[in-house]
Amino acid sequence: MRRRVFGGERFPFIVWWVCDIDLDALLSGPGPGEFVGHMLKNDLIPPPSFQLYPLGADGSSVVYPEERDSLPVALQLSYEVALHAMRLGLMAREFRSDTSFETTDLLQKSMAIKVRQSRLSDIQEGLRQLWTVPSVQELGRMRLSVRAQRLFHQAWTLYRALIIYSYTSMWPGQRMDTLPDYEAEIATAAQQILQASQAIMQTDSNSSRFLVFPLFMAGYASTVGSEKTAVIDMIQQMEQGCIVGQNTRATRRALEAIYERQNERFMHIGHSLDVDWPQVMAERGISVVNFGL
């Protein structure tokens, strides 16, 4: 409608904001991802240079002189990670809506798991490859401007959260179907999210929104008690700074309920790999509209 009325989108960063909110809702569980799905399918997502305001005469984001060496690369990186996140979230929605998966026989289910894992590997490898690009590696060594640094931190923590998500949260019981070889990568990702979040919160008090989902995934995936406690403490710190604090409080309550279930399963069967966080939230009647809002 806006394109028809105005002949184009005059404020494309608003589209990015809506994509970001819809993506968070999709990854959080209750969102169907209709907006980001439509945007992806119809190639309507604005280019990387349109993510931020203020806007220049050509409609793209203004890049100040001190940002020219870093901000364009950070925008591109943020764009690429977001696209992978959208595809992963929509794939999880597809997998979880397939009711035949749980009722099929063991042989067919094993084959279906292999197909799913193959599709997932494309996204996982695409995410990893982003961080091998020389310009992105250089970005990690530079002293960045505020906007470039925030984008870089957001992309980094979301990337690590997506790696965890892709191995643990695409369908109920997925972690039981994931090879033990990947447990080290999951544990490392959780540790890195925790370390990065601690550093970011000390220097950038406005970063809490994009850290909530990565911290949630780190807390869910970690098997180290001190790490799980630290995640709860950090999310609790961020509750006061959020636009809608009850969402962050609900996130913390959800994580506490998940911890409780994980402890129960560990005491009962010796591990908690079969705990599915969306299922726990549904059983407890905990609804998080959006982890990051």
Residue 69: exposure state from Cβ atoms within 10 A (0-12, 13-18, ≥19): middle
Would you state the pLDDT for residue 264? 96
Q: State mean pLDDT over 265-282.
A: 93
Task: Give me the residues paired with residue 61 across strands.
Answer: 55
Tens digit of pLDDT for each residue in 119-129?
999 999 999 99
Query: Distance between CA 183 and CA 41 in Å, rounded?
Result: 33
Place of tokens 């696209």: 83
Query: Distance between CA 20 and CA 72 in Å, rounded?
Result: 19
Tens digit of pLDDT for each residue in 210-245?
899 999 999 999 999 999 999 999 998 888 755 556
| Reported confidence tier of residue 10, pLDDT bands at 50, 70, 90 | confident
Q: What are phi and psi of 259, to 5 degrees?
A: -60, -45
Which tokens sit at 176?
């039981």
Using N-to-C axis directions, what is the helix angle for 146-168 and 106-130, rounded to 10°? 160
Residues of the chain with pLDDT > 70, as a percent, come to 96
Domain boundaries, the chain: 10-284
Among 193, 188, 179, smallest CA distance to 273 is for 179
Tens digit of pLDDT for each residue in 143-166?
999 999 999 999 999 999 999 999
For residue 246, pLDDT beyond 80: no
Please enumerate in sequence order all residues whose Cβ is within 8 A of that of 107, keeping only pairs 6 or more positions apart, or say none.
Answer: none
Would you state the pLDDT for residue 229? 96
| Reported confidence tier of residue 29, pLDDT bands at 50, 70, 90 | confident
Tens digit of pLDDT for each residue in 169-192?
999 999 998 888 899 999 999 999
Query: Distance between CA 160 and CA 76 in Å, rounded?
Result: 17
| Reported confidence tier of residue 94, pLDDT bands at 50, 70, 90 | very high
For residue 99, pLDDT beyond 90: no
Residue 63 and residue 76 in contact, taking contact as beta carbons nearer than 8 Å: no
For residue 53, pLDDT beyond 90: no
Query: Distance between CA 250 and CA 69 in Å, rounded?
Result: 40
For residue 281, pLDDT beyond 60: yes
| Reported confidence tier of residue 6, pLDDT bands at 50, 70, 90 | confident
Would you state the pLDDT for residue 198? 92
Would you state the pLDDT for residue 183? 92
| Reported confidence tier of residue 291, pLDDT bands at 50, 70, 90 | confident
| Reported confidence tier of residue 4, pLDDT bands at 50, 70, 90 | confident
Asked if omega into 72 is within 30° of 0 (cis), the reply is: no
Tens digit of pLDDT for each residue in 60-85?
889 999 999 999 999 999 999 999 99
| Reported confidence tier of residue 91, pLDDT bands at 50, 70, 90 | very high
- Distances in whole angstroms, Cα of residue 33 to Cα of each of 3, 23, 44, 171, 261: 21, 7, 15, 16, 28
Residue 256: exposure state from Cβ atoms within 10 A (0-12, 13-18, ≥19): middle
Q: State mean pLDDT over 102-112.
A: 89
* Cα-to-chain-centroid distance, residue 100: 27
